[in-house]
């Protein structure tokens, strides 16, 4: 096992606020708060027993400083890294309990084209309505044990993708700098995909199947 996984807290949705209402409220993130390698924002919530439904309530777990956040619904896996200790809400799973490089390595795998193809073909629930990732299926993902060199390499690429997305968010839309950053992000993601193909020993033909347009991606 590379890391532990669990679901976010059962915050009552009516009590999540865009603006802080009182000084007891803490930052929480929902599924909609993240993109692949991207933290888009947060909500405010007063974390107390009466404001919670079931699921994870352990503040020590929820507030762990470094974690990978994974959206529960979507046609693709949407995952990012957080090191602020923000609490995830129940529309997210999170991975924790491993060192930073291992978490970033897992993030690179989860957002890769190969693992997304696996998800679409073998792990997604309700494919045609609201595609969903179940925790039991998340725990069965075929995660390969890397060499130290590969783990660090993929962790650095994931870190670069996050940094690029952060800069893109604060750069004028469609400016030369914005276009340059978007190109660099696409190139970084391609490096990640190729490194993951290498890690799993895919042939050129198998890589082409994964890279084919979405409608051609069924693997049998």
Structural domains in the chain, CATH included, are: 4-216 (3.90.220)
Helices (H) and strands (E) counted in the chain, each on its own, are 7, 13
> pLDDT tens across 100-149, in order?
999 999 999 999 999 999 999 998 888 888 899 999 999 999 999 999 99
- Paired with 103 in beta bridges are none
Alpha-carbon dihedral sign for residues 208, 211, 217, 220: positive
pTM, 2 dp: 0.93
Q: Which two tokens stand for residue 124?
A: 């997604």
Identify each DSSP E strand in the chain by its residue range: 4-7, 9-11, 26-29, 34-35, 38-39, 43-45, 52-55, 67-71, 79-82, 87-88, 92-96, 124-125, 132-133
pLDDT higher than threshold 90 for residue 40: yes
pLDDT computed for residue 220 by the predictor: 42
Residue 213 — very low, low, confident or very high, per pLDDT cuts 50/70/90?
low
What percentage of the chain exceeds 90 in pLDDT? 85
> pLDDT tens across 43-81, in order?
999 999 999 987 678 899 999 999 999 999 999 999 999
Closest CA to 47 of 17, 21, 22, 25: 25
Of 4-8, 56-60, 73-77, 193-197, minimum mean pLDDT range: 56-60
- Buried/exposed 26-61: b ≥16 CB within 10 Å, e otherwise: bebbbbebbebbbbeebbbbbbeeebbeeebeeeeb
Residue 37 CA to residue 68 CA, distance in Å, equals: 10
């Amino acid at each position: 096992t590379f890391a532990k996984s669990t679901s976010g807290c059962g915050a009552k949705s009516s009590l999540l606020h865009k603006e802080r209402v009182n000084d007891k409220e803490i930052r929480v993130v929902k599924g909609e708060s993240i993109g692949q390698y991207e933290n888009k924002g947060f909500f405010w919530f007063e974390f107390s027993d009466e404001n919670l439904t079931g699921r994870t309530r352990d503040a020590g777990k929820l507030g762990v400083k470094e974690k990978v956040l994974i959206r529960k619904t979507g046609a693709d896996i949407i995952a990012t890294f957080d090191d602020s200790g923000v609490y995830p809400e129940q529309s997210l799973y999170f991975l924790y309990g491993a060192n930073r490089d291992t978490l970033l390595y897992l993030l690179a795998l989860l957002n890769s084209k190969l693992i997304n193809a696996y998800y679409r073909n073998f792990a997604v629930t309700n494919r045609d309505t609201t595609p969903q990732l179940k925790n039991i299926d998340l725990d069965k993902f075929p995660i390969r044990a890397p060499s130290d060199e590969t783990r660090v390499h993929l962790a650095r690429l994931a870190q670069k993708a996050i940094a690029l997305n952060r800069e893109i968010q604060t750069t004028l839309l469609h400016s030369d700098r914005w276009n340059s950053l978007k190109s660099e992000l696409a190139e970084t993601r391609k490096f990640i995909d190729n490194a993951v193909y290498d890690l799993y020993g895919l042939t050129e033909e198998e890589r082409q199947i994964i890279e084919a347009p979405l409608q051609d991606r069924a693997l049998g």
